[in-house]
Structure 1
Amino acid sequence: MMDTSVSFLDSLKDTSDEEAWQRLVGLYSPLIHGWLKRHGAAPGDLDDVCQEVLTVVFRRFPEFRREPRAGAFRTWLRTITVYCVRDHWRKKNRQAKGIGGSDFGEVIAQLEDPESGLSAQWNRDHDRHVLQYLLDEVRPSFTDNTWQAFQRFALDGLSADEVSQELGISVNAVFVAKSRILSRLRHRGQGLIE
């Protein structure tokens, strides 16, 4: 596992860092694949389009600038996905038809519009997926007791007093657990979720 002092996006600056790029593929392949499938892309196109998106991200990453816009990477990835889907169908010289006769081309047009409900859904899906990935990634760095305190307090919504009593630790230890894990998550996910 990579040094925790480096954010996810910063680790990708070195295009020769194979581990960092494998992490990107591991993070974004399921998101892109699942999103396209849920919104009606033809099953035979999913793997090809996903690979095309990640290839473009790799090739063009040196051009990516995350400042000053919040959600810049998420938006950039959405734009690349739209481009790759359209290009994929253009190459196959066919109309974008989805499952059940739905017009997947209309879905892509909505996804391209940053003000559409579908773009807002992309943002929510992206953030939820990335957060779960980051939680899974940082989990091994903390003791079970620290993680349980964080989970019960920050994720499950119990009060610090309830968690303190449940785990037999001080209220201060509950706040410290939350602070330490959130700090790690913020740093690792810097630029991915805003």
Structure 2
Amino acid sequence: MDTSASFLNSLQLVSDDEAWNRLVGLYSPLIRGWLRRFGAAADDVDDVTQEVLTVVFLRLPEFERQPRAGAFRSWLRTIAANCLRDHWRKANRRAPAVGGSEFVQMIDQLEDPHSGVSQLWNREHDQYVIQYLLEEVRSNFTPQTWRAFERFALEGKSADEVSQELGISVNAVFIAKSRVMSCLRKQGAGLLDE
């Protein structure tokens, strides 16, 4: 994969099958987890996840990145809320959650960008995508570069500590962090808050 292309751009540069597989690989676990946690019936989780991903895939060419951070995340959240509503309307039943109206209220809150549920979606989305991107870009770096980045940027060790531990210069620690962060920013362009 070309690391100069963001995840979103790369979806437009590959075959439909590969783009679909990448989208499913990234977002299926996140969407399924949300549906389960907020009371969706087990039988509905796969169907709704498939519906959300299908809409995202089909409408991705229409998605326009906006100058504001998190535009894709918000767009995905809105699609998820709409698919949830549509799914239960088509089935002509209420969400089979404890206190079914609570689930409907959660869907309403998911659509409201200022609600606590939306803020939680945003935080969890970003944390999840960061972990995914970290795993995706890791193979682009030598083990020593990755370890320097990991110890310094992720574990919060000082540059001096990492330098001594790995037998590299302090400057090399800063360079490792800079290189990995640059790659992550490129890959995550449009997916995450900056």
| TM-score (norm: length of structure 1) | 0.95
Partner of 2:70: 71
- What does residue 120 of structure 1 align with? 119
Q: Secondary structure at the match of 1:141?
A: coil
Tell me the distance in 2 between the aligned counterparts of 1:20 and 1:184.
20
2:140 — aligned with what? 141
Residue 62 in structure 1 maps to residue 61 in structure 2: yes
Q: Quick one: distance in 1 between partners of 2:152 and 2:14?
A: 38
Deviation at 1:13, TM superposition (A): 2.4
Which residue of structure 1 aligns with residue 180 of structure 2? 181
Match in the other structure for 1:53: 52
Deviates further, 19-28 or 127-136: 19-28
What is the DSSP-based 3-state SS (H/G/I as helix, E as strand, rest coil) of the residue aligned with 2:92? coil
2:3 matched to 1:4? yes
Q: Deviations over 1:157-180 (max 9, x none)?
A: 011001011111110110010011
**CA deviations over 1:98-156 (Å, ceiling 9, x no partner):** 1x445311111111111100000000010000000000000111111111100000000
Equivalent residue runs for 1:23-42 within 5 Å: 23-42=22-41
Percent identity reads: 69
Structural RMSD (CA) = 1.3
**Bigger Cα displacement from structure 2, 176-185 vs 34-43:** 34-43
Supply the distance in 2 between the matched residues of 1:41 and 1:104 (Cα, whole angstroms).
8
State the alpha-carbon separation in 2 of the partners of residues 83 and 183 from structure 1: 34
Farther-moved stretch of structure 1 (130-139 vs 38-47): 38-47
**Displacement, 1:4?**
1.2
Distance 2:175 2:35 in 1: 40
Q: Which runs of 5+ in 2 are unaligned?
A: none
Q: Which amino acid aligns with 2:103?
A: F
Query: What letter corresponds to residue 83 of structure 2 in structure 1?
Result: C
TM-fit CA distance, 1:14: 4.5
CA contact (8 A) 2:12 2:19 kept: no
The Cα of 1:18 is off from its aligned counterpart by 2.4
Structure-1 separation of matches of 2:51 and 2:64: 21
Number of equivalenced pairs: 192
Letter in 2 for 1:45: D
- Deviating more after overlay: 155-164 vs 101-110: 101-110
Structure 1 residue identity aligned to 2:81: V
